């Protein structure tokens, strides 16, 4: 009896020792796994931080741009045209319009650079020697259009002197920001020595100041006046495409997923469809671009470079993602809920729309917004349907030529005026990221709100 | 614990008084099943089940796990239709009408034969909407007041109204397990079914909630034909007037509950009742 107890005690201490030893091993492996997980997260976050730091470091200066404050005199010697035609002087609207156009053509032919040059010389230090070509390299080339449009809009400016803010040229902006090394020789500088000296003088006397670069947000792309190049056209193009994707891909995708998951009989055919949808999600996006070019442009003769075509291509690309995500969400609904509905005598459609869909709605919504956000950043398929064309206008309808934000980034990154466009590209990336973060934020907000309600 | 025992005992007594074997069998027959077979794919789950279910009485199906009692229950309101690959043979008639007749609408059938499931499964909606759902989809209420009336009376019949009358707009999923199950019963009653099928309605509940549900079943018997599947022989003995014993997909024995529990004819039934198989 006593030995029995003893051996039991021994056995139990032996067991305890073994358990402790195995415990140490378990704790060790758990600690290693945790450390690895933490390291993975730190590495991932580190790369994201690196990306953000790089983009912001480059992009933030692009949001600050040099402006020239000039007092422009609409000198009658240069503006040698008759008074603008007035509607009252003409018997018909058509004749007035013809005369008005003729007058505007005349105005356009005038040497507006002369007016700009005069105002620049007035702002320059007295007796500063610089030739016309050199001094006109300081303002952006669109300054003359800006002044001309002012006059067309208000012909009574003739003979008056008004203050006008024009953008400094890309080269001047580079010089001021030091994007070009100031110590480089004349041969390697973009601007002539007198122009550089004059720019510094303008900065000193307050003719040139820097301000927020609204041009990035409010202007369309420009090649002749790089400092005036903006994202508005691309932004509107992207907006049209997003609307088309949301209007087409979401209902079609969700409906297809519901049909496949809830109604379609399980057969070889549906298996085949399922495999193909999964494969479609993995098809490189550029292939969708080829498909779009072949079907929508060559066969259906939709206009090239149009957001409509871009939206259709992105819809095709997003559909599999939405279908797969929605099916996954539907699959996750507990059978108990389905049985409860069917047991109450609900039809299958009623079961889906009254019970299953409301429960899965938050996940479907999140998946959809993430799919749309993914489409928002897609570039490759758009290149193949002509959306990389240079478009210097805001598309009025989805059928007009346009480009898209990511394509605009691609175009700017390839621009020859690198010193100026590298920061602009980073700024465009910031805008694109902001739109994406906004979309994801909406997804998170809606999800948490809907989940709270149910 | 004492209280639980007391409750169960009172239930027992009330059943005892009603448990006259003739009482169950003299009632008209509501449901008749003849040679019902079920195949899940290649596997046969039920082998020629024939049974009569009496009107306004509780019929219980007992048997060890996997014996086919739930499968048979699910044939009665055609819930097996929803299972991929399930094939049902034989005939089941409700008031002489074949429920597997292709011309019969399964939606209408399920409005006449309600079901309560093993795990309480209220909709993730308010208590009110849970009960109102059936009347709404079947178009039973002509006005909001009418619907209110149905909801309140259903909750009353399910013995839940007093507990939830102040929070009808709160989610049904927030109730306790037993309350949820009574909500599911109220939800089934709201449609005005003739038959209520219950698939192990108390297996997920504690003894107190179980006692409450059993009492409720006993009350509901006055107005509804009830078929209950249970793994608890005591429960079958307490609440039912007729009992059927299933084993390995066969109906081994059926008869008045008292007879099955006190004087079973079949050896297998005897073994099961005595706890030798199960």
Strands B29-40 and B43-54: antiparallel
Asked whether residue B7 carries a pLDDT value surpassing 50, the answer given is: no
CA distance A310 to A391: 15
Nearest to A385 by CA among A264, A282, A291: A291
Query: In a 3-state reduction of DSSP, which class is residue B115?
Result: strand
Query: In a 3-state reduction of DSSP, which class is residue B42?
Result: coil
> Token pair for residue B29?
């027959």
CA distance A350 to A105: 67
CB within 8 Å of chain B, chain A residues 216-275: 266
Residues across chain B:
278
User: Could you read off the pLDDT of B193-250 as tens digits, one per residue?
Assistant: 999 999 999 988 888 889 989 999 998 998 999 999 998 888 999 999 999 999 999 9
User: Could you read off the pLDDT of B32-63 as tens digits, one per residue?
Assistant: 999 999 999 889 999 999 999 999 999 999 99
State the smallest CA–CA distance between residue A227 and chain B in angstroms. Answer: 58
CA distance A391 to A234: 9
Let me know: does A248 contact A315? Beta carbons within 8 Å: yes
The reply to whether A349 touches chain B by the CB within 8 Å rule is no
Task: Tell if the CB–CB gap between B110 and A347 is shorter than 8 Å.
Answer: no
The reply to whether A336 touches chain B by the CB within 8 Å rule is yes
Tell me the pLDDT band of B168, cut-offs 50, 70 and 90: very high
The confidence score (pLDDT) of residue B8 equals: 42
What is the widest separation between alpha-carbon atoms in chain A? 131
ipTM > 0.85, yes or no: no
CA distance B191 to B194: 9
Q: What's the gap between Cα A379 and its chain centre?
A: 11
**Position of tokens 């609440």?**
B239
% of chain A surpassing 90 pLDDT: 45
Q: Which of A338, A344, A358 sits opposite B110 (nearest CB)?
A: A344
DSSP single-letter state for residue A65 = E
Burial of A169 (0-12, 13-18, 19+ CB in 10 A): buried
Q: Which of B117, B122, B191 sits opposite A345 (nearest CB)?
A: B191
User: Could you read off the pLDDT of A15-61 as tens digits, one per residue?
Assistant: 888 888 899 999 999 999 999 999 999 999 999 999 999 999 989 98
The confidence score (pLDDT) of residue A5 equals: 66
User: Could you read off the pLDDT of A329-362 as tens digits, one per residue?
Assistant: 999 998 889 989 998 888 889 999 999 998 898 8
- Torsion, Cα A422 A427 A428 A431, to 10 degrees, reads 170
Let me know: does A235 contact A405? Beta carbons within 8 Å: yes
CB within 8 Å of chain B, chain A residues 114-173: none
The confidence score (pLDDT) of residue B10 equals: 42
CA distance B278 to B275: 7
User: Could you read off the pLDDT of A378-411 as tens digits, one per residue?
Assistant: 889 999 888 888 888 889 888 888 889 999 999 8
Long-range contacts of B95-101 (CB under 8 A, 24+ apart): B95/B30
Best of B74, B79, B85, B110 to substitute, by most chain A Cβ atoms within 10 angstroms, is B110
Task: Tell if the CB–CB gap between A338 and B82 is shorter than 8 Å.
Answer: yes
Measured between beta carbons, which residues in chain B are less than 8 angstroms from residue A270? none
CA distance A17 to A389: 75
The confidence score (pLDDT) of residue A129 equals: 87
Q: Which of A341, A344, A358 sits opposite B191 (nearest CB)?
A: A344
For residue B130, count other CB atoms closer than 10 A to its CB: 28
Cβ-based neighbours of A385, under 8 Å, separated by 6 or more: A289, A292, A293, A296, A297, A304, A305, A309, A310, A313
User: Could you read off the pLDDT of A53-98 as tens digits, one per residue?
Assistant: 999 998 998 899 999 999 999 988 888 888 888 888 888 888 899 9
Strand arrangement of the beta sheet that strand A64-73 belongs to: A161-167, A64-73, A208-212
User: Could you read off the pLDDT of B183-192 as tens digits, one per residue?
Assistant: 999 999 999 8
Phi and psi dihedrals of B105, rounded to 5? -85, 120
Tell me the pLDDT band of B21, cut-offs 50, 70 and 90: very low
């Amino acid at each position: 009896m006593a030995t029995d107890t003893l051996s039991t005690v021994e056995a139990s201490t032996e067991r305890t020792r073994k358990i402790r030893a195995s415990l140490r091993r378990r704790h060790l492996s758990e600690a290693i796994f945790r450390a690895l997980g933490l390291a993975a997260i730190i590495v991932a976050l580190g790369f994201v931080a690196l990306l953000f730091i790089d983009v912001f470091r480059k992009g933030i200066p692009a949001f600050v741009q040099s402006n020239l404050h000039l007092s422009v005199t609409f000198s009658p010697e240069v503006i040698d045209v008759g008074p603008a035609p007035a509607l009252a002087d003409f018997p018909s609207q058509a004749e007035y319009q013809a005369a008005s156009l003729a007058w505007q053509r005349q105005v356009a032919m005038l040497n507006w650079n002369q007016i700009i040059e005069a105002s620049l010389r007035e702002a320059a230090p007295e007796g500063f020697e610089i030739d016309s070509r050199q001094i006109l390299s300081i303002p952006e080339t669109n300054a003359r259009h800006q002044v001309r449009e002012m006059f067309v809009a208000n012909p009574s400016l003739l003979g008056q002197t008004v203050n006008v803010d024009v953008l400094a040229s890309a080269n001047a902006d580079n010089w001021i920001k030091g994007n070009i090394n100031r110590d480089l020789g004349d041969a390697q500088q973009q601007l002539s020595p007198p122009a550089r000296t004059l720019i510094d003088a303008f900065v000193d006397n307050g003719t040139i100041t820097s301000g927020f670069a609204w041009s990035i947000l409010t202007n369309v792309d420009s090649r002749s006046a790089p400092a005036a190049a903006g994202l508005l056209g691309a932004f509107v193009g992207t907006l049209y495409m997003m609307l088309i994707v949301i209007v087409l891909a979401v209902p079609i995708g969700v409906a297809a997923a519901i049909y496949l998951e809830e109604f379609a009989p399980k057969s070889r055919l549906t298996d085949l469809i399922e495999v193909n949808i999964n494969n479609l999600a993995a098809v490189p996006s550029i292939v969708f671009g080829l498909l779009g070019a072949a079907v929508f442009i060559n066969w259906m003769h939709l206009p090239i470079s149009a957001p409509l075509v871009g939206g259709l291509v992105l819809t095709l690309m997003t559909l599999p993602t939405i279908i797969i995500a929605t099916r996954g969400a539907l699959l996750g609904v507990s059978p108990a809920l389905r049985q409860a509905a069917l047991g109450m005598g609900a039809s299958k459609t009623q079961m889906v729309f009254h019970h299953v869909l409301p429960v899965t709605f938050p996940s479907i919504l999140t998946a959809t917004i993430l799919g749309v956000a993914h489409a928002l950043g897609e570039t490759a398929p758009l290149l193949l349907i002509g959306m990389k064309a240079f478009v210097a206008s805001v598309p009025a309808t989805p059928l007009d030529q346009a480009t898209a934000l990511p394509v605009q980034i691609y175009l700017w990154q390839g621009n020859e005026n690198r010193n100026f466009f590298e920061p602009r590209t980073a700024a465009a990336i910031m805008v694109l990221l902001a739109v994406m973060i906004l979309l994801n934020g909406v997804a998170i907000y809606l999800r948490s709100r809907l989940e709270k309600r149910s | 614990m004492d209280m639980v025992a007391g409750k169960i005992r009172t239930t027992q007594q009330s059943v005892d008084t009603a448990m006259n074997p003739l009482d169950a069998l003299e009632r008209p027959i509501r449901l008749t099943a003849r040679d019902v077979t079920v195949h899940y794919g290649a596997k046969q789950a039920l082998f020629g089940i024939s049974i009569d279910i009496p009107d306004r009485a509780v019929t219980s199906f007992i048997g060890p796990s996997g014996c086919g009692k739930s499968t048979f229950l699910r044939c009665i309101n055609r819930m097996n239709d929803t299972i991929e690959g399930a094939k049902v043979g034989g005939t089941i008639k409700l008031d002489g009408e074949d429920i597997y007749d292709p011309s019969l609408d399964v939606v209408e059938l399920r409005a006449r034969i309600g079901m309560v499931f093993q795990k309480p499964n209220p909709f993730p909606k308010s208590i009110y909407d849970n009960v109102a759902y059936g009347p709404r989809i079947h178009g039973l209420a002509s006005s909001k007041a009418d619907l209110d009336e149905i909801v309140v009376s259903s909750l009353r019949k399910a013995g839940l109204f007093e507990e939830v009358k102040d929070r009808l707009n709160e989610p049904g999923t927030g109730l306790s397990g037993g309350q949820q199950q009574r909500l599911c019963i109220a939800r089934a009653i709201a449609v005005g079914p003739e038959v209520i099928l219950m698939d192990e309605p108390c297996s997920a509940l504690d003894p107190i909630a179980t006692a409450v549900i059993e009492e409720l079943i006993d009350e509901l018997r006055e107005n509804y034909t009830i078929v209950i599947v249970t793994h608890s022989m005591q429960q079958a003995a307490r609440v039912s007037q007729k009992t059927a014993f299933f084993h390995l997909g066969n109906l081994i024995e059926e008869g008045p509950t008292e007879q099955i529990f006190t004087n079973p004819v079949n050896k297998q039934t005897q073994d099961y009742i005595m706890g030798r198989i199960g």
